[in-house]
A and B are shown apart, each in its own frame.
Chain A
Amino acid sequence: MEIVHPKTITEALAGLTEGVTPLAGGTDLMVEVNFGHAHPERVIGLRRLEELAHWEGDRIGAGVTWRRIERDGPTALAEAARTVGSPQIRNAGTIGGNLGTASPAGDGHPFLAAVDASIELVSLAGTRALRWDEFFTGVKKTARRDDELISAVRLPQELPERQAFGKIGFRNAMVIAAVNCVVTRTAGGRTTVALGSVAPTPIRARQAEAMISTISKPTSSDLGEFQRLVSEEVRPITDHRSTEEYRRHGAGVLARRLLERCLR
Chain B
Amino acid sequence: MIVGFTVNDEPVSVRVSHPGSLLDVLRDDLGLLGSKSACQQGECGSCSVILDGELVCSCLVMAADMEGSTVTSIEGVGAEGALHPVQEALHSAGAIQCGFCTPGFVVASVDLFERDPHPSPTEIREALAGNICRCTGYGAILRALEGLASGVDG
Q: Does A6 contact B (CB under 8 A)?
A: no
- Counting chain B CB atoms within 10 Å of each CB, which of A34, A35, A43 scores highest? A34
The B13-66 residues at the A interface (CB cut-off 8 A) are 16-21, 40-43, 45, 48, 52, 54-57, 59-62, 64-65
Q: How many residues of B contact A (CB 8 A)?
A: 32
Q: Does B98 contact A (CB under 8 A)?
A: no
**Nearest 8 CB-CB pairings of A with B:** A86-B130, A173-B129, A91-B54, A34-B40, A30-B60, A3-B64, A88-B130, A31-B41
Contacts A3-B65, A43-B64 known; A89 to B57 CB distance under 8 Å? yes
Cβ B42 vs Cβ A89 within 8 A:
yes
- Which residue from chain B places its CB closest to the CB of A171 in the assembled complex? B129
Interface set of A (CB-CB < 8 Å, partner B): 1-3, 5, 23, 25-27, 29-31, 33-35, 38-41, 43, 45, 47-48, 67, 85-89, 91-92, 172-174
Q: Does B140 contact A (CB under 8 A)?
A: no
Q: Does B116 contact A (CB under 8 A)?
A: no
Q: Which residue of the partner chain, among A3, A27, A41, A67, contacts B60 with CB atoms under 8 Å? A: A27
Q: Within the complex, what minimum Cβ distance (angstroms) separates A27 from chain B?
A: 5
Separation of A7 and B97 alpha carbons in the complex (Å): 46
In the complex, chain B residues whose CB is within 8 Å of the CB of A89: 42, 57, 60, 130
Separation of A35 and B60 alpha carbons in the complex (Å): 12
In the complex, chain A residues whose CB is within 8 Å of the CB of B131: 86
Q: Does B127 contact A (CB under 8 A)?
A: yes
- Other A-B contacts than A3-B62, A30-B42, 5 sampled, CB-CB below 8 A, are A26-B65, A27-B42, A31-B41, A33-B19, A88-B42
Cβ A35 vs Cβ B57 within 8 A:
no
| Chain B window 98-122, contacts with chain A (Cβ cutoff 8 Å), 1 for yes, 0 for no | 0000000000100100000000000
Q: Does B153 contact A (CB under 8 A)?
A: no
Contacts A23-B65, A173-B130 known; A1 to B41 CB distance under 8 Å? no
Cβ A67 vs Cβ B65 within 8 A:
no
Q: Which residue of the partner chain, among B17, B18, B45, B65, contacts A86 with CB atoms under 8 Å? A: B45
Q: Does B80 contact A (CB under 8 A)?
A: no
Q: Does B82 contact A (CB under 8 A)?
A: no
In the complex, chain B residues whose CB is within 8 Å of the CB of A34: 21, 40-41, 59
Cβ B19 vs Cβ A39 within 8 A:
yes
- Which residue from chain B places its CB closest to the CB of A31 in the assembled complex? B41
Cβ A1 vs Cβ B64 within 8 A:
yes
| Chain B window 110-154, contacts with chain A (Cβ cutoff 8 Å), 1 for yes, 0 for no | 010000000000000011011100000000000000000000000
Cβ A33 vs Cβ B20 within 8 A:
yes
- Which residue from chain B places its CB closest to the CB of A82 in the assembled complex? B126
Q: Within the complex, what minimum Cβ distance (angstroms) separates B96 from chain A?
A: 21
Cβ A30 vs Cβ B62 within 8 A:
yes
Cβ A43 vs Cβ B65 within 8 A:
yes
In the complex, chain B residues whose CB is within 8 Å of the CB of A67: 54
Cβ B62 vs Cβ A26 within 8 A:
yes
Q: Which residue of the partner chain, among B1, B40, B59, contacts A1 with CB atoms under 8 Å? A: B1
Contacts A88-B57, A92-B56 known; A31 to B42 CB distance under 8 Å? yes
- Counting chain B CB atoms within 10 Å of each CB, which of A26, A43, A172, A173 scores highest? A26
- Which residue from chain A places its CB closest to the CB of B53 in the assembled complex? A91
Cβ B130 vs Cβ A87 within 8 A:
yes
Contacts A1-B64, A34-B59, A43-B65 known; A174 to B43 CB distance under 8 Å? yes
Cβ A47 vs Cβ B65 within 8 A:
yes
